[in-house]
Structure 1
Amino acid sequence: MSTHPPAPAAQSPQGAPGPQQQPQGLRAGLRTRHMSMIAIGGVIGAGLFIGSGAGIAAAGPGILVSYVITGLLVVLVMRMLGEMAAASPTSGSFSAYADRALGRWAGFTIGWLYWFFWAVVLAVEATAAAVILAGWVPAVPQWTWALVVMAALTGTNLISVGSYGEFEFWFAGIKVAAIVVFIAVGVLAFAGLPPGDGPVGLRHLTGDGGGFLPHGPGAILSGMLLVIFSFMGSEIVTLAASEAPNPARAVRRAVNSVVWRIAVFYIGSVAVIVALLPWDDPEVARHPYVAVLDALHIPGAGPVMDVIVLTANLSCLNSGLYTASRMAFSLGERGDAPRSFTRLNRGGVPAVAVWASVSFGFVAVFFSYVAQDTVFRFLMNSSGAIALFVWLVVCFSQLRMRRVVEREAPERLTVRMWFFPYLTWATIALMAGVVVYMFVNPDGRVQMLLSLLVAVLVLVAGLVVHRRRPGAGAGAQEPAGDAGAQAPPERG
């Protein structure tokens, strides 16, 4: 770890934050179309195509309520994060805001936990992609495919941020097109039009298999535990904004569109599944989207969905590597990681941070094959509750930074959290309820305890590092930091 304290943010004579600027060295290589697709694709992961089946099995049609509540939670968190990011776009996003608002311990801890989460995701997505590719070409070992996939996307991330954006643009485009077509076909079938066999009605939602809540109201919370982590990735656009030409405008657009993105892609597609098929159909639990397409006699449903899921895997891996490397870069800038993480190549990419992130991913992939039930399971469970930790930190950071920015630089509030501070506190209360439920739920308890263990270890490491650093202090004295181009206030 470096012993150099981070450079202070530029301040005006009155003490308000200085002019907005790009993080040093990072280039504005992401275009508007890249940012749009990163914002849209960030909420569509492979977990939607596969993981939604487990949620339906746990809660029945009531999983829709789980998605609505979790979606509302994500919308509120994104609004808070968008408020801070529009006022102060930075490569570290919520980690940098926690550093300024709550203290160095908070920025260090949540930054490294977030990096750890995405480094584990690299292994998960690479392994999942390798399973599909090995099914197509069995002669090539599965581990070889995982290696090829990670090496290829490492190469795209090392070239330039524009190459990452271009790949993500096409990956996200395929995912979006697939969901839109799926919903359109499902709506036609529900209405009794081809490719359906007649009107379906509401029997699968309210009649068959025990009604809308076959396992009782408590299953809604069980469903939320399965759903909540599939939304991780919504926040990527706020990290990417620092490498866009107009960060504040990019953040505003992403935050304003999060409502319809969640409503259409998640709630809309899952509603099609539970409306057209019995929730307790074993095929729905295994492959929900394929089950619907097969039931509608859509030819080649399995292979087509394999292509789409593979695309989702590659998209998540691509974004995960980008996100982990930019968080590592930000930690290096603030002296919370080796200074080498801030070293840029000719393309303006933090190459050392990329290699460090993908190296951990390679190690995790190795354990997924040789120690799947021990080391790899620990990695999975110990990163399971990090989404909740990140969102709670966003809430508490926004409570502090909002008041400081209103006092020192109110013109920066181009995005405002609704009904502040009441909705912020309501969001904190809702997440606290989920945390409590994880402790009492047998399926969530292990994840929460192991995630807390890792969080405590990282926190202790941060405190030790900062005590040894001369002049280290809380970053709350620079609440608004560097920020992007100003824009007219938005009151919506």
Structure 2
Amino acid sequence: MLDKNNEGLHRGLKERHIQLIAIGGAIGVGLFLGSATAIKTAGPALAFSYLIGGLVIFIIMRALGELAVAYPVAGSFSAYANNFLGPLAGHVTGWTYWFMWVVTCMAEITAVGIYVQFWFPQIPQWLSALIALVAMTVVNLINVKAYGEFEFWFALIKVVTIIAMIILGAGMIFLGWGNHGEPVGISNLWSHGGFFPHGIEGVVMSLVMVMFAYLGVELIGVTAGEAESPEKSIPAAIDKVLWRILIFYVGALLVIMAIYPWNEIGTKGSPFVLTFSKIGIPAAADLINFVVMTAALSSCNSGLFSTGRMLYNLALQKNAPPVLGRLSKHGIPYVGILVSSAFLLVGVILNYLVPAKVFIYITSVATVGALYIWGIILVAEMKFRQSLSPEELARVTYRTPLWPYASWVALAFLAFVLVLMAFDSGTRIALYVGPVWFILVIASYYIFGMHRRNQEGSEALQFTPANARR
């Protein structure tokens, strides 16, 4: 039954927490720092690339929402894969998502150290990273509401910054703010080689970077097991994902590229710093450094939250040691969080003992893992639909639009992005390293006898839709 997959966890996340977690998951450090590289690839047409990727992400999120409303459990996609695609799929999905977030958090806590050195160069980078890790671990161990509050404010900082940049940028474009009263206009969007300066090829090649920017948006599914009213808060947050993408990504990029010629962006620092500086805001670089640091802390905070819940669910599935299924008196999977935190500590140490290229290779596996997770969400949702009788389907109130055609298109798009990775030297390594990870995870399933344990306890892992019990 469903409750077996959620036993002991406290539903302490309010709707405002879920809303901001959804926004925070969709807005990463890449928008503040990595946008310059993507702009060089596609020019102003990058906004079109984000729109295409955003539509696909919306379909994936609707499929995830359909499952999360019916099955609001900890572990989310791992539990869905286990139930609809089999124990092996649940095993691979859970461990891949755990590894993806651990690697991402390794990079983020290291980044925190770099951002702190911007103000205090005398503080060792490893020390700042260690303090950030300890602080986020403590936050996650208190209770789920503490995590929700921190993530609420972290996300709010990012949202306010982007909205301020869009408003100030619009003032420069139409009213001449910061430009001696002379409106900048929007001619920069087509005056330097056209809106598609690198043709359709530029749009296509930028899709890899665009989809990487959306990593973390699926985090809302992991919160379903601890949301106060998942049947209300999850759909409300997911339905706003598309227009948030339009505002925060497409809107911000169009404003930036209207103000500055796209072929000059990236030569003078972050586009956000340039915009705030031109409008006359003092210490613009300090402001954006603070925002990016909070974005990195947000990622680390969410990473510990999601990895702890994923290890907890893997323990329930008998795909991980039983000790990882232990909960504190506040319903926190503290053992899973501490184990993830320990691995992150190893990451901080490795960052100073081995060449940086090792992290590039490991991170490439994480990006392939994200494409895999999104694909699993779509396939699990299709299997879920196929398992329902007409009477059960009638009780499903939150559905994926244009099903199953939209789901198939989204799956094809993810496969296309995977192929595109072969055409870039920076991402091609993932196509070599990624399969090695999946082979190791699958091998561990059989080497440690998890296939036998799952056969013995398969009945205990089944759960029924929440709306079927009403």
Length-normalised TM-score, structure 2:
0.94
Q: What letter is aligned with 1:58?
A: T
Aligned partner (choices 185, 208, 214) of residue 201 of structure 1: 185
The answer to whether the Cα contact below 8 Å between 1:87 and 1:412 also exists between their aligned partners in 2 is no
Please report how far the alpha carbon of residue 320 of structure 1 lies from its aligned counterpart in structure 2 after TM superposition: 1.0
The match for 1:358 is 341
Cα distance between partner residues in 2 of 1:243 and 1:442 = 41
The match for 2:108 is 125
Structure 1 285/412 Cα, relative in aligned 2: closer, same or farther at 3 Å?
Answer: farther
The match for 2:87 is 104
Cα distance between partner residues in 1 of 2:268 and 2:344 = 28
Cα distance between partner residues in 2 of 1:475 and 1:436 = 36
- TM-superposition CA deviations, 1:59-104 (whole Å, max 9, x none): 1112111111111110010011111111111111111111111111
1:329 aligns with 2:275: no
The answer to whether the Cα contact below 8 Å between 2:28 and 2:295 also exists between their aligned partners in 1 is yes
Secondary structure (helix, strand or coil) at the match of 2:466 reads coil
Aligned partner (choices 239, 256, 271) of residue 222 of structure 2: 239
Identity %: 36
Please report how far the alpha carbon of residue 263 of structure 1 lies from its aligned counterpart in structure 2 after TM superposition: 1.0
Cα distance between partner residues in 2 of 1:196 and 1:477 = 66
Aligned partner (choices 183, 203, 213) of residue 230 of structure 1: 213
The match for 2:50 is 67
Q: Once superposed, what is the RMSD of the aligned Cα atoms? A: 2.3
Q: How many residues align?
A: 469
The match for 2:302 is 319
Please report how far the alpha carbon of residue 136 of structure 1 lies from its aligned counterpart in structure 2 after TM superposition: 1.5
Cα distance between partner residues in 2 of 1:279 and 1:214 = 10
Cα distance between partner residues in 2 of 1:41 and 1:449 = 31
Please report how far the alpha carbon of residue 411 of structure 1 lies from its aligned counterpart in structure 2 after TM superposition: 5.2
The match for 2:432 is 449
The answer to whether the Cα contact below 8 Å between 1:52 and 1:227 also exists between their aligned partners in 2 is no
The match for 2:38 is 55
Moved more, 180-189 or 465-474: 465-474
The answer to whether the Cα contact below 8 Å between 1:171 and 1:315 also exists between their aligned partners in 2 is yes
* Pairing of 1:273-312 with structure 2 (within 5 A): 273-283=256-266, 286-312=269-295
The match for 1:211 is 194
Moved more, 380-389 or 153-162: 380-389
- TM-superposition CA deviations, 1:463-485 (whole Å, max 9, x none): 44456524628979977636379
Structure 1 94/169 Cα, relative in aligned 2: closer, same or farther at 3 Å?
Answer: same
| Structure 2: runs of 5 or more not aligned | none
Cα distance between partner residues in 1 of 2:377 and 2:391 = 20
The answer to whether the Cα contact below 8 Å between 2:72 and 2:230 also exists between their aligned partners in 1 is yes
Please report how far the alpha carbon of residue 408 of structure 1 lies from its aligned counterpart in structure 2 after TM superposition: 6.4
The match for 2:397 is 414
* Pairing of 1:183-194 with structure 2 (within 5 A): 183-194=166-177
Cα distance between partner residues in 2 of 1:25 and 1:484 = 20
| Structure 1: runs of 5 or more not aligned | 1-8, 11-19, 488-492
Cα distance between partner residues in 2 of 1:151 and 1:219 = 42
Please report how far the alpha carbon of residue 331 of structure 1 lies from its aligned counterpart in structure 2 after TM superposition: 0.7
Please report how far the alpha carbon of residue 281 of structure 1 lies from its aligned counterpart in structure 2 after TM superposition: 1.6
The match for 2:143 is 160
Cα distance between partner residues in 2 of 1:371 and 1:89 = 41
Cα distance between partner residues in 2 of 1:145 and 1:213 = 42
Length-normalised TM-score, structure 1:
0.90
The answer to whether the Cα contact below 8 Å between 2:385 and 2:393 also exists between their aligned partners in 1 is no
Please report how far the alpha carbon of residue 295 of structure 1 lies from its aligned counterpart in structure 2 after TM superposition: 3.2
Q: What letter is aligned with 1:206?
A: W
Please report how far the alpha carbon of residue 285 of structure 1 lies from its aligned counterpart in structure 2 after TM superposition: 7.5
